[in-house]
Amino acid sequence: MAFIQLEKEGHVAVLTIDRPKALNALNSEVLKELESVIDSIDAGETRCLIITGAGEKSFVAGADIGEMSTLTKVQGEAFGKTGNDVFRKIETLPIPVIAAVNGFALGGGNELAMSCDIRICSENAVFGQPETGLGITPGFGGTQRLARLVSPGMAKQLLYTAKNIKAPEALRIGLVNAVYPPEELMPAAKKLASQIADNAPIAVRACKKAVNEGLEKGMDDAIVLEEKLFGDCFETEDQIGGMKAFLNKEKHAPYQNK
């Protein structure tokens, strides 16, 4: 891969978008590589994925404006579908995904972060959807996920004004979960990922499915979904061993994903 690096540390994988000279901007080639790497992840071996950007300035500064500047209507829609398809794969990946935002997360970069389950950032992080200042709308899910993550009113303000916000404001509106000094961001992300990976993977994956799919349903249907996923956890080695250890006041053995 020319622009994507993937490293594994036990049950945690770190995916780095490695195009620092372009502030890790997303062009068609980067998106293609990103999709390929996401498709290759084995949810049985990897229990949590961290996504970050190379360098100290940028997570992902956005989609590649040079590439987009000459697109026709048809090509623009196709480019939007490409990005949406990749980000949807991240959003629906069975395992949790943490965005470690280490700088600029603008346009497609903010959209990438929002497709992850959890966002944490460095103190120098900057978020925004600047598309209306360029004569376009967000095309990789920005109008949809932003309104679901923060309030619709706040999402509309950010979308309509194209203004960027810094880390403290992103924390205040609920776009990120925590802010760290730059040198502490990746250690914090890895610690959080390890805490997730230490828990029963079947149960963690079921929680992700329950939350993501439940948010798209009415409460009555969502509760039925939860009941089904709750029941699916029983008779697994993870459930039997975990509850046995609890009742015996013992530390549970490492979960086996069974």
How distant, in Å, are the alpha carbons of 62, 68, 112, 162, 177 from that of 135? 15, 11, 21, 11, 31
Helix (H, G, I), strand (E, B) or coil at 236: coil
Residue 67: active-site member: no
Query: DSSP letter at 255?
Result: P
Q: Which of 7, 77, 91, 111 is catalytic?
A: 111
SS3 content of the chain, % helix, strand, coil (to 5): 50, 15, 35
Residue 131: active-site member: yes
| E strand or H helix that includes residue 138 | none
- Residue 153: closest CA among 177, 132, 174: 174
Q: Which of 56, 131, 213, 235 is catalytic?
A: 131
- Round to whole Å and give the CA distance between 174 and 176: 5
- Write out the catalytic residue numbers: 111, 131
